[in-house]
Amino acid sequence: MAHRSEKILSNKNNLQVLHEDNHIIVVNKRAGDIVQGDKTGDKPLSEVVKSYLKDKYNKEGNVYLGVVHRLDRPTTGIVLFSKTSKALPRLNKLFAEKTAKKTYWALVKNEPPKTSGTLIHWLKKNPKNNKSTAYIKEVEGSKKAILHYKIIQTLDNFYLLEIDLETGRHHQIRVQLSSIGCPIKGDLKYGFNRSNKDASISLHARTLRFVHPVKKEDLKFTAPLPNEAVWNACNN
């Protein structure tokens, strides 16, 4: 029987906290963590963070935590939560207005057609199989998706891409890269030929830049890469 890596999920004791203040907490999500509860019934990262805060501050009652944005379950990287009801609508506004900037890193096996470029597609989500399809022109029910990519490192068997999103569509990076023949390492759903040992995909929310909702300071956070052989070969 083939050996598979044990999937390590976040819990209140091993939570990777990148920053915390009175109003926000920024964590580095592990592959397999689900940001918000869903039909699986698995404990979401939002509840893990609540448990962490409850323990840390010895709180008796319920802990407030606002989910600002999400990452797909098999991806890793930065997730921002709001610790106060004052901060949440302000953070929601930053994300809605695209003034919060997210940069992703992705490992792909095939070389993109250009060293850098902009991809524009219309994506249509199929809720039955939780999958999106990319079209080169608008179709009924589709939404326009734009991303910018560049190759930042060439490894022995993979290319490391840096990706900036202009839109935030369902599985956007995964389906758009797949549509140019560059499925992400481990992403069986979008055409990669084999899974990663821990069922992750090699897509990492690397940096997040935004203005603090209360202090109004410019903030930038960088999430360390997963401790995995191919990621370890990337320049940090």
- Summarised one tens digit per residue, pLDDT across range 183-227 is 999 999 999 999 998 899 999 999 999 999 999 999 999 999 999
- At residue 46, the 3 state secondary structure works out as helix
- List the catalytic residue out of 21, 33, 42, 72: 72
pLDDT per residue rounded down to tens, the chain (236 residues)? 333 445 789 999 999 999 999 999 999 999 999 998 777 778 999 999 999 999 999 998 899 999 999 999 999 999 999 999 999 999 999 999 989 999 999 999 999 999 999 999 999 999 999 999 999 999 999 999 999 999 999 999 999 999 999 998 999 999 999 999 999 999 999 999 999 988 999 999 999 999 999 999 999 999 999 999 999 999 76
User: Is the alpha carbon torsion for 96, 37, 147, 79 positive or negative?
Assistant: positive
Q: CA–CA distance from 11 to each of 53, 147, 176, 209, 212 (Å)? A: 12, 33, 32, 25, 26
77 conformational bin, left if phi > 0, alpha if psi -120 to 50, beta if neither: left
Whole-model pTM: value is 0.93
- Does 72 qualify as catalytic in the annotation? yes
- At residue 162, the 3 state secondary structure works out as strand
Q: How far apart are CA 144 and CA 71, in angstroms?
A: 19
Beta strand pairing call for 76-82 and 203-211: parallel
